[in-house]
A and B are shown apart, each in its own frame.
Chain A
Amino acid sequence: MVPDSTYIFTDPITQKEVRWQKADVFNPGAIVKNDTVFLLFRAEDNPDAILGGRTSRIGLAYSTNGIDFTKYPEPVFFPQDDAFKKWDYPGGMEDPRIVETPDGTYLMYYTSWNQDVAGLSVASSDDLKNWSNHGPIFQKAHDGKFLDVWSKSGSVVTELTNGRLIAKKFNGKYLMYWGELFVNLAESENGIDWTPLLDDNGELLHVFKPTLNEFDSHLTEPGPPALYTENGILLLYNGKNLSGEGATDQYPEGTYCGGQVLFDKENPTKMLERLETPFICPSLPHEVSGQYKAGTTFIQGLVYFKDQWFLYYGTADSMVGLAIKE
């Protein structure tokens, strides 16, 4: 999937016509509904904007074969003049992950970017087209202690049920791996209001951390929704290589590759194993030549479709790529 400057909509805040996917389309969430793959992708508007001047919006596309997608003409989720504008604007909504709950509700976890603090927010929908914004997920937790703490990339634990990935509850609560630098854990009864797990000192509990001199020496950032399996909870994540000291020379500095880590299904805070070699890395021209020139294969959307796993990823913060495995 590539950007297309012919798509126009009227921005409700500025009341101006915007070519909402002129610059880049990337980092999509994915879900299967009615034997169709839907992508909710991040679209950036102005390729000439500088100093964070772009606004990200969420577009919707569908495909019956998982490869060829048709986009809806207008974004389905975008900053508005509402109570959430102070978090969502002007940077916009970024990097959505989608899960389906057992009652058929879709929850989208995205990054609110107001060009000051990035925050994990959530929206809900019954049809993937009309979304209700619920704002930051940590508003109510610990008396608001983590409301303005930098938070990104929420991967809710799901389970493959009748061919669909459904959010799974553990002792009555959903679980979410989240974070950017470290992987943290949070829990929720309703999927809207989340509480981060803390360590004995009252600080965020880090359940997984970067490994120096490896491909994920800088960042360990959750990818698509995590998967409950008989062997444990599998988290596909995005590992970023450091620049300079602590980096590995096996991969270019600053490169994002995809890794895998397994957690204990009886104790989701306990890491069991980590794949030492990334299973996906930038190699194709469009994966190293876009907006983020160090290269990314930023994994974010995972679906089980037609008896295969489809993994959608952002390429260099510019386009959408796909890897398929039986």
Chain B
Amino acid sequence: MKVGFQFFMMIDVNMRKLIFVKNQIRTMYSKISLVSILILFLACKNKSGTTEPTGEEPSSQWLLGFEKAEKIQ
């Protein structure tokens, strides 16, 4: 019974992911043409689209004291 429940919960989570992806795709299609998709694809091949790590230690002044959170159990 418990295994079955976990299985269905896994489906639940995956369904949410699918719905999210579906809506992302639908939004894209409403905005851009197939030609734009091709251009986007080519652009993405040359750009990761992610933030580059600075490689520097951040200033501790802006950490709000939460350098490492102390959890209350």
Contact = CB atoms under 8 A, between A and B. Distances in A.
Nearest to B5: A48
Interface string B48-63: 1111111000110111
B33 interface: no
Nearest to A262: B62
Nearest to A210: B50
A198 interface: no
Contacts of A50: 8-9, 11-12
B71 A273 contact: no
A203 B27 CA distance: 12
Given A52-B12, A209-B51, A214-B53, A284 B62 contact: no
A236 B49 CA distance: 21
A309 B65 contact: yes
Given A50-B8, A50-B11, A273-B54, A324 B62 contact: no
A321 B71 contact: yes
B62 A323 contact: no
Contacts of B38: none
A279 B49 contact: no
Contact of B27 (A149, A275, A291): A149
A280 B69 contact: yes
Given A67-B72, A273-B54, A323-B71, A231 B59 contact: yes
B61 A275 contact: no
A323 B20 contact: no
Given A276-B53, A323-B70, A116 B61 contact: no
Interface string B9-38: 101110110011001100100010000000
Interface residues of B, number: 36
B23 A150 contact: yes
Nearest to A183: B51
A136 B34 CA distance: 30
Nearest to A50: B8
Contacts, number: 112
Q: Contact size class for A?
A: 35 or more
B44 to A, nearest CB: 13
A212 B50 contact: yes
A219 B11 CA distance: 21
A279 B53 contact: no
Given A52-B15, A260-B66, A291-B9, A323 B72 contact: yes
Interface in A192-237: 203, 208-212, 214, 217, 227, 229, 231-232, 234, 236
Contacts of A209: 49-51
Contacts of B19: 52, 115-116
B45 interface: no
A84 B64 CA distance: 37
A326 B63 CA distance: 12
9 contacts: A49-B12, A231-B61, A260-B63, A260-B64, A271-B51, A276-B53, A284-B71, A322-B72, A323-B72
Interface of A: 47-53, 67, 115-118, 149-150, 203, 208-212, 214, 217, 227, 229, 231-232, 234, 236, 258, 260, 262, 271, 273-276, 279-280, 284, 291-292, 297, 309, 311, 321-326
| Complex A-B, nearest 4 residue pairs according to Cβ-Cβ distance, in ascending order | A323-B69, A280-B69, A325-B65, A50-B8
